[in-house]
Structures are given as structure tokens and as C-alpha cells.
Amino acid sequence: MSADNLQVGIIGTGAIGGLHAHNLALRTNGANVAAVMDIDRERANAVAQACGARAVQDAAGLIADPEIDAILIASPDASHAELSLAAIAAGKPVLCEKPLATSLADAEHIVNAELAAGQCLVQVGFMRQVDPAHCDLQALLLSGQLGAPLRFRGTHFNPRRGDTIISIKDAIVNSLIHDMHSLRWLMGSEVQSAFVQWLPDRADMPHSARFALAHLTLDNGGLATLEWSGDSGYGYEVGVEIVGELGTAQTHSHSSPAIRRAGRLSQAVTPDWQDRFAEAYQIEVQDWVDSLRQGAPTGPSAWDGYMSLVIADACLRSVDSGLPEPTRAMDHPAFYA
């Protein structure tokens, strides 16, 4: 381990925090996990031991610790804004898991704090931006072979998680937020309006969600639909299809072989997000470490986190009104050019 290694402190050592800790400690050059914190002390201790890190009990102390260079936030959604603001106040770079915040107002505070600090410190965990299947589609779009993109179709199908009932609000702010970022990134356009329809997971809980569909209009005249399922019945699948002026293309979402056997054509579907995006999570933290060692983060910014919540906010208003709702965003600061 070199003295120049980035010393990372991780807050939240559950499913994704544990995965990031493992990737940073064992599969990333130029960094090590110096300290971890989780309100579940046993979990923090186990991850600390596996990574050769210290387990600490206080998030504010970890952020302030002069031996920690950078913070990774992987605690629940509701804690992201406060912890990101604390990292900005300490002048430390932070990789914050999505969503950047659970409200548009909190995301705006983070953007304003970064503007006041005059430094890009925040990166948001929209790791699809480094997923090879999504990158191949982006390269095709940038090559011009599809012509101008006209329509984005995102599919985000999850396996059911035990007895968990997901609300339409959580489906939008916690899950569809990924697809909202993907569409801005791949279509190169902001969203003008959003209209949401959904099927409840339970008839007696009208704001529970089994399946949701968001129809979006874009500033560049394009259209988008985002389809989400909380119970695909078959596994985990994320895909994008883009219709362009000259052609149509889809992400290749499966890396397993297509098998023709005994009169059937079959292909395995990944069971969960950990399998589907395993490579992207590794690339994400390596790129983050490399960019910080060279000066500043280059991945999805606080502005990207904010603009994804602008779309989510219009979707939430559409849930309440039953109508298409316009997006409402602050002016784009030149700082985030």
C-alpha cells in the first residue's frame, strides 16, 4: 500500500457498502479502506475486519478525521443529503450512492453548497454510466449511426424482495432514479414533463406499486418511457432501447450464452443487481479513485443528482394530480458546464 493511496471512509456497510468496501480494498489500485461506520456495529466490525480497516461509531467523526481523504456514502437514502453536506463542509470528495437526496429541496442545498465551496466534490453512484452494455450504446449514438435519438425506452425489472411492499414514491425516488439519469445521459436532453401511471401491488394499498410507467417529454423534442416492475417474476433486468432517425438499438443485457438445446432456445437472466452490475461497480470505484488522485471527480455530478430529482419531483406531482406535470429546475450554473 503506497503512502499516496487514497484513504477512504465508508458510511453504511450493508449490501452496496459492503460491496464497495470489498472492491476498494481488494480490487482497486491506489486506495484503501481506512475506516468504516454503520449503526449496526457488528456489520461494521465484520466489514472492517475483512478490509483491514478501523470500525468507528460516528459518521461526523469519520468525515472530520484528518486521516480520511474521501468519503463513500452507502447508508439509506434519507441520510444522503446530510452526510454529503457534511463532506462538502469538510472539503472532502464524496461518492454518494443514489439518490443524492430524497427531496428536490435537499438536492438543491447540496448543489448550492458545492457552488459556495467553489469545488466539485460530489459524485453520485449512477454506475450505469460505466456499465459496458450502456457504454456500447452511448458509443453507437455518438458515432451518429442511429441519427438523432427520438425515443428512449428504459426497462427496470426487479425480483420481489420478500414481503416488502414498495410505495410508488420509493419506486420513483429510489429505483427509477437510475433510469432518469440514464435517459438524460444517453439522450443528451433534459425532461420537460412527466406523466406517471402505476398498478398497485395490493388492492387495499393504492400507493403501493407493482408496475409503473412514466411517460416523459424532452426539451429536444424527444420522447421517453420508463417501465418499472417490483416483481418481474423471473429475475433482474435493466435495458435501454433507443429509436433514432436512422435506426434502433438496444443494450445487450445478458452476458450469459444463448443456448439452443432439446428444442428450446434459452438464456440465463441475472438474479439481482449485484450480478448484473458487478463489473460496473468495480469500474465505478476505480475511476473515482483515479480521478480524485488526479484532482477532481469525473463521474455523475451533484448537478446530475439534482437533475434526476427534478424528473422524480415532476413524477411525484403527477402521481398526486393524475396529470402530466412540468419539471421545475433552477437555472443551470455555469460551474457545471
Which chain residues interact with ligand NAD by CB under 6 A? 11-17, 37-40, 43, 59, 74-77, 79, 97-98, 125, 127, 174, 273
Between CA 288 and CA 322 the distance in angstroms is 40
Shortest CB 138 distance to ligand NAD, Å: 18
In this complex, which beta carbon is closest to ligand NAD, that of residue 95 or of residue 146? 95
Shorter beta-carbon distance to ligand NAD: residue 174 or 192: 174
What three-state secondary structure class fits 47? helix
Shortest separation between residue 259's beta carbon and ligand NAD, angstroms:
28
Which residue's beta carbon is nearest to the bound ligand NAD? 14
- Supply the minimum distance, in Å, between the C-beta of residue 144 and ligand NAD: 30
Nearer to ligand NAD, 15 or 259 (CB): 15
Q: Which is nearer to ligand NAD, 11 or 209 (CB)?
A: 11
Q: Which is nearer to ligand NAD, 84 or 217 (CB)?
A: 84
Please give the sequence-ordered ranges of beta strands (E in DSSP) within the chain, or none if there are none. Answer: 6-11, 31-37, 54-56, 70-73, 94-96, 122-124, 149-157, 191-199, 211-218, 223-229, 237-244, 248-250, 259-261, 264-266, 325-326
User: 265 to each of 4, 15, 45, 251, 252, how far by Cα in Å?
Assistant: 51, 33, 46, 20, 17
Q: In the bound complex, what is the minimum distance in angstroms from residue 326's beta carbon to ligand NAD?
A: 27
Question: In whole angstroms, how close is the CB of 14 to ligand NAD at the nearest point?
Answer: 2
Q: How far is residue 24's CA from residue 8's CA, in Å, rounded to a whole number? A: 8
The candidate with the shortest Cα–Cα distance to 84, out of 306, 316, 329, is 306
